[in-house]
Amino acid sequence: MPKDSKKKENRVTKAPRDVERIYSTADVVAKLRRLADALETESSFRIQIAGERFRVPGRAQFSVEHERGDGEEEIEFQLKWKLDGTDESEEEGESVV
């Protein structure tokens, strides 16, 4: 069996998800601080959003989006990465924010 086929077999398919969650300022500060530390060191980190925990790999690309319209403005900070089968592995001692 080809190596790529084994990798695909081990990958767990998850349902699509698109959630938005409002957090307290203290929670946002903690999440952003850990994000900044991970980006600075190009390392992965685990995060929990709306009850689901997952790992953001160090290779994730970071973007900032600004929208204006209908009497309001919005800024979105976004991390994006391709799944490669190793994204869900736990690292020893990696805390979740």
**Percent residues over pLDDT 90 in the chain:** 48
Mean pLDDT of 60-84: 94
Contact 47, 32 (CB under 8 A): no
Confidence bin at 94 (pLDDT 50/70/90): low
- H helices within 1-97, ranges in order? 3-10, 25-41
| Mean pLDDT computed over 15-31 | 92
Dump pLDDT digits (tens) for 24-55.
Answer: 999 999 989 998 998 899 899 999 988 999 99
